[in-house]
């Protein structure tokens, strides 16, 4: 009996099935699955797990002291995206990223034309946690303030791709995209002969090129570094991965120092000047002179060095204002405003809670909607009305009434599902997609991205910090083979 024989795709949009039929780009995979048994899958999954463990492909989970380092979870059934579908998604992501960059440039060095023209309220921009006055007037070469963006996409019950949130500060996950692919090649090498999968492992050179583009004028062979908070950060594996792939140093704040507005790193041969910093620490920890003065993660004097133009940091300071969830509802309008284009990728239906009418509407439907705090990431603080207890709903109501600016509400998006190996069989699980968009001279998208899986039945929470899994994501090169 084949693994798919008893599979019931359920009611949500299925990536693999169209009713009882298998979608064309999944057919070869389905044929292969019919020849595999449960034990094949289990053996390969075990091998993959032990490879990941030996290579230390792990992530840290905060809270709870035992087992804080977990092996990265991958489900060995790949998610496949056809070439035509990807062309549309890619165009949408590039359009959105360009708009987000334009918006940030407008806010920090462009005189806030979008506010002047009434597209977005000025108070909303300035009250954002992510808005940094310290970044005002600091120009960024080519206006690429978002060098790396992670824009989370979901598919609704019609299969329409929608943007769920933008991550424009220090989005993580790309290392797992590359490692998942390597794992799939080891586990199912033959499948790659049948599918023309677009490669993802040139990310190092893609990122390095975009970072070198940011080098101060006149510097032709810039020294680039990756700045990490250190091994205790949950994404430390990724920081090391990126430094390794780019062939640059992975530095901590204490490895750097600023002298006369120039940044240096301490090396075995003395001090060496640094020109571009790909930082993976939050704004508030970058420079104790300007931000949190108790922070030892950053570098004293760094902001002054940036302002002097002797060093560039990516992503730029202050990007959080554009991924604030209360600003998110305005992004489609900003796309039309800056480019006079229709947004290719729609948002999820969202209610702004500082608006009295919308707030009333939301408070009357709390048990049906999803409420999110505007500045959190990683799935923290989200309340899903239909599974929340009465107490949680009451608390959410109090929170909203006390500080409506701090929350948004959204209609539930029934995320699409994908067959996933659970126990000894395949079962549908909800998934999302985090593609990575890199902007240097041009804006480019890594084919695919990180597909995250909610491993519990019916759950919509895909974050790895909350027990989510992942899948390798295949973008096909041409329609013919799919």
Partner 1 sequence: MLSRHAETLFWIGRYVERSSYITRMMDVAYNKQLERSARSSDEVWWDLLRVLYLEDDYRAEYGDDVTTASINRYLVFDTENSSSVKSSVTQARTNMMNVRDIVPLELLEAMNRLHAQLGAGGLEGFVEQTPHQIYETVAGQCRAITGAVDEAMPRDDGYRFLMIGRLLERAEMTCRMVDVNRTVSGRDVSSWMTVLRSVSGFHAFTREHGPLAPADEVVEFMLLEPSFPFGVLHCLQRAWQLTQEVIGAGTWQSPRLAGRLTADLQYADIPAVDSPDLEGVLERIENGIRETSEALHHDLYQFGGDPLLYSFEAL
Please tell me the distance from the alpha carbon of residue 227 to that of residue 263, in angstroms, as a whole number.
12
Please tell me the distance from the alpha carbon of residue 188 to that of residue 41, in angstroms, as a whole number.
10
Name, in order, each residue with C-beta under 8 angstroms of 255's C-beta and a sequence gap of 6 or more: 249, 265, 266
Q: How far is the CB of 223 from partner 1 (least distance, A)?
A: 12
Which of these ranges, 148-156, 176-184, 225-233, 324-332, lies near partner 1 under the rule CB under 8 A?
225-233
CA distances from 295 to 93, 171, 232, 406 (A): 35, 21, 15, 25
Out of 47, 271, 393, 427, name the contact with partner 1 by CB under 8 A.
271
Out of 267, 308, 364, 403, name the contact with partner 1 by CB under 8 A.
267
Please tell me the distance from the alpha carbon of residue 315 to that of residue 438, in angstroms, as a whole number.
10
40 scored as a contact of partner 1 (CB under 8 A): no
Nearer to partner 1, 32 or 53 (CB): 53
Which of these ranges, 31-39, 48-56, 144-152, 405-413, lies near partner 1 under the rule CB under 8 A?
48-56
270 scored as a contact of partner 1 (CB under 8 A): yes
Nearer to partner 1, 293 or 356 (CB): 293
Out of 24, 37, 56, 159, name the contact with partner 1 by CB under 8 A.
56
Contact 431, 36 (CB under 8 A): no
Which of these ranges, 35-43, 100-108, 224-232, 451-459, lies near partner 1 under the rule CB under 8 A?
224-232
Give the x/- contact pattern for partner 1 in 233-262, rule: CB under 8 A.
---xx-xxx-xx----xxxx-xx-x-x---
Name, in order, each residue with C-beta under 8 angstroms of 445's C-beta and a sequence gap of 6 or more: 90, 93, 94, 435, 436, 437, 438
Which of these ranges, 53-61, 109-117, 126-134, 344-352, lies near partner 1 under the rule CB under 8 A?
53-61
Please tell me the distance from the alpha carbon of residue 470 to that of residue 139, in angstroms, as a whole number.
37
Phi-psi region of 396 (alpha: psi -120 to 50; beta: other; left: phi over 0): alpha
Q: How far is the CB of 398 from partner 1 (least distance, A)?
A: 39
Q: How far is the CB of 62 from partner 1 (least distance, A)?
A: 17
Q: How far is the CB of 303 from partner 1 (least distance, A)?
A: 13
Q: How far is the CB of 125 from partner 1 (least distance, A)?
A: 32
Only one residue has tokens 């990310």, namely 203
Out of 39, 268, 340, 389, name the contact with partner 1 by CB under 8 A.
268
Name, in order, each residue with C-beta under 8 angstroms of 32's C-beta and a sequence gap of 6 or more: 188, 190, 191, 194
Give the x/- contact pattern for partner 1 in 293-312, rule: CB under 8 A.
xx-x---xx-----------
Nearer to partner 1, 226 or 415 (CB): 226
Nearer to partner 1, 275 or 444 (CB): 275
Out of 231, 309, 378, 458, name the contact with partner 1 by CB under 8 A.
231
Nearer to partner 1, 119 or 265 (CB): 265
Out of 2, 30, 42, 53, name the contact with partner 1 by CB under 8 A.
53
Nearer to partner 1, 2 or 300 (CB): 300
Q: How far is the CB of 225 from partner 1 (least distance, A)?
A: 9
Exposure of 114 in the CB half-sphere (CA atoms within 13 A)? 30
Nearer to partner 1, 136 or 296 (CB): 296
278 scored as a contact of partner 1 (CB under 8 A): no
**Residues contributing to the site for partner 1 (CB under 8 A):** 53-56, 226, 230-231, 236-237, 239-241, 243-244, 249-252, 254-255, 257, 259, 264-271, 288-289, 293-294, 296, 300-301
């Amino acid at each position: 009996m084949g693994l798919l024989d008893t599979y019931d795709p359920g009611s949500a949009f299925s990536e693999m099935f169209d009713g009882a039929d298998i979608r064309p780009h999944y057919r070869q995979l389905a044929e292969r699955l019919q020849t595999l048994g449960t034990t094949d899958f289990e053996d390969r999954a075990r091998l993959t797990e032990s490879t990941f463990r030996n290579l230390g492909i792990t992530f840290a989970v905060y809270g709870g002291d035992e087992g804080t380092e977990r092996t990265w979870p991958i489900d060995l059934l790949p998610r496949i995206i056809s070439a035509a579908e990807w062309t549309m998604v890619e165009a949408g992501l590039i359009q959105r990223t360009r708009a987000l960059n334009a918006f940030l440039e407008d806010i920090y060095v462009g005189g806030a034309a979008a506010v002047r023209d009434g597209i977005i309220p000025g108070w909303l921009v300035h009250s954002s946690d992510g808005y940094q006055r310290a970044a005002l007037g600091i120009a960024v070469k080519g206006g690429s303030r978002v060098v790396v963006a992670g824009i989370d996409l979901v598919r609704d019950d019609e299969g329409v791709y929608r943007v769920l949130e933008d991550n424009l500060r220090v989005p993580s996950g790309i290392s797992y995209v590359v490692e998942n692919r390597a794992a799939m090649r080891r586990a199912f090498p033959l499948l790659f002969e049948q599918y023309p999968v677009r490669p993802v492992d040139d990310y190092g050179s893609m990122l390095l090129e975009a970072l070198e583009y940011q080098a101060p004028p006149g510097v032709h062979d810039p020294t680039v570094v990756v700045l990490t908070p250190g091994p205790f950060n949950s994404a430390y594996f990724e920081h090391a991965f990126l430094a390794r792939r780019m062939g640059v140093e992975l530095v901590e704040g204490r490895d750097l120092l600023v002298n006369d507005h120039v940044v240096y790193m301490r090396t075995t041969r003395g001090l060496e000047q640094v020109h571009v910093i790909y930082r993976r620490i939050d704004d508030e920890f970058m420079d104790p002179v300007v931000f949190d003065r108790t922070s030892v993660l950053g570098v004293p004097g760094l902001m002054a060095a940036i302002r002097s133009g002797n060093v560039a940091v990516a992503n730029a300071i202050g990007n959080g204002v554009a991924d604030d969830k209360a600003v998110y509802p305005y992004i489609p309008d900003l796309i039309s405003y800056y480019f006079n284009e229709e947004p290719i990728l729609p948002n999820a239906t969202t209610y702004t809670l500082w608006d009295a009418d919308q707030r009333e509407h939301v408070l009357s439907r709390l048990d049906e909607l999803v409420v999110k705090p505007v500045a959190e990431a990683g799935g923290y603080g989200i309340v899903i009305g239909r599974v929340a207890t009465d107490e949680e709903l009451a608390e959410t109501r109090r929170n909203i009434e006390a500080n409506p600016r701090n929350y948004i509400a959204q209609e539930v998006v029934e995320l699409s599902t994908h067959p996933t190996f659970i126990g000894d069989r395949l079962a549908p699980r909800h998934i999302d997609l985090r593609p990575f968009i890199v902007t240097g001279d041009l804006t480019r998208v890594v084919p695919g991205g990180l597909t995250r899986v909610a491993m519990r039945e019916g759950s919509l929470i895909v974050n790895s910090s909350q027990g989510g899994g992942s899948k390798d994501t295949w973008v096909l090169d041409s329609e013919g083979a799919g």
